[in-house]
Amino acid sequence: MEKLNSGYGKLQILFDIDLEVPKGEITTIVGPNGSGKSTFLKSLFGLTDIYSGRVTYEGRDITYTPPHEKTKMGISYLPQTNNVFTNLTVRENLRIAGYILNGDELEERINFALEVFPELRGILDRKAGSLSGGQRQMLAMATALVRKTRILMLDEPTAQLSPKLAQVIFDKIVELRDNYDITPILVEQNAKRALEISDVGYMFVSGRVAYGGSAKSLLNHEKFQSYFLGVVGIEEC
Ligand SMILES: Nc1ncnc2c1ncn2[C@@H]1O[C@H](COP(=O)(O)OP(=O)(O)O)[C@@H](O)[C@H]1O
Ligand SMILES: [Mg+2]
């Protein structure tokens, strides 16, 4: 994406965002609260107002491509909350995710999603609203797999999970990259641990890219370290 400027109506949130997401790698965006991380994912998916700049995907300009078209292209976005239908069962959520597929293909895709998330097999008839936070996140990710996702955007998938469960989710994200040819784009408050599993890291401050480079270099960068010691001191690193 080149020089992207976006926001909500007249309220500009992101300024001149230049960012590249390498295929087959995990790209993670960190930054303080309100720095525009969620707005960034929404802008990629087509849920904000884009004033200028360009988003390209496999050589195609998708800056103004509507979300449902992006979904068909294999781009998925899982918001931080409301990413499953709580009043439907796990099975129903998976079926709805693949509603455009024909019956056989749908079954095949659901089986595939359950291979990646066998944790869901025993709870297919439970209402999504009754699941634990970790199970719910796995269901959300599984619905993206039913849809043949190639780019998977995740907004704080480990928020409110115990460190142990957060690690399970991080491991799944690595598995999606390594075994299923999926390119995850991650926004995380759990910044240190997210960068540890990532290839590329960006740090946003006040709607701008304060740093971009390898995830490792960001972890070691003084901006990241001071952000951690200064702003995020109260949070778990
Ligand atoms: N739907 C919206 N309408 C107007 N302003 C919004 C909306 N969503 C977020 N914002 C504003 O955009 C800024 C960045 O928010 P956000 O992208 O959610 O940051 P982050 O995810 O980094 O915490 C904040 O000032 C927030 O108040
Ligand atoms: Mg956010």
The tens digit of pLDDT for each residue in 89-99 reads: 999 999 999 98
b/e sequence 129-150, b meaning 16+ C-beta within 10 Å: eebeebbbbbbbbbbbbbbbbb
Q: Which of 5, 33, 38 to mutate to test the pocket of ligand 1 (most atoms within 8 A of CB)?
A: 38
Residue 154 has pLDDT above 50, yes or no: yes
Q: What average pLDDT does the chain have?
A: 93
Q: Is the model more confident about 94 or about 229?
A: 94
Measured between its terminal Cα atoms, the distance across the chain in Å is: 29
Say if CB 135 and CB 67 are below 8 A apart: no
| Residues 64-82: tens digit of each pLDDT | 999 999 999 999 999 998 8
Tell which wins on pLDDT, 1 or 200.
Answer: 200
Instruction: Return the bridge partners of 76, or none.
Output: 152
- Tell whether ligand 1 has an atom less than 6 A from the beta carbon of residue 203: no
Residue 229 has a pLDDT of 55
Alpha carbon separation from 125 to 87, 88, 91, 92, 128 (Å, rounded): 11, 9, 6, 8, 9
Ligand 2 ion local residues (Cβ < 5 A):
37-38
Ligand nearest to the CA of 40: 1
43 Cβ inside 6 Å of ligand 1: no
- Domains of the chain (ranges plus CATH)? 2-205 (3.40.50.300)
Residue type, 78: L
Residue to substitute in 6, 13, 206 for testing ligand 1 pocket (most ligand atoms within 8 angstroms of CB):
13
Instruction: Determine the distance separating the centroid of ligand 2 and the alpha carbon of 57, expressed in angstroms.
Output: 23
Any atom of ligand 1 within 6 Å of the Cβ of 11:
yes
* pTM for the structure as a whole: 0.92
Distance CA 64, CA 50 (A): 8
pLDDT at 228: 65
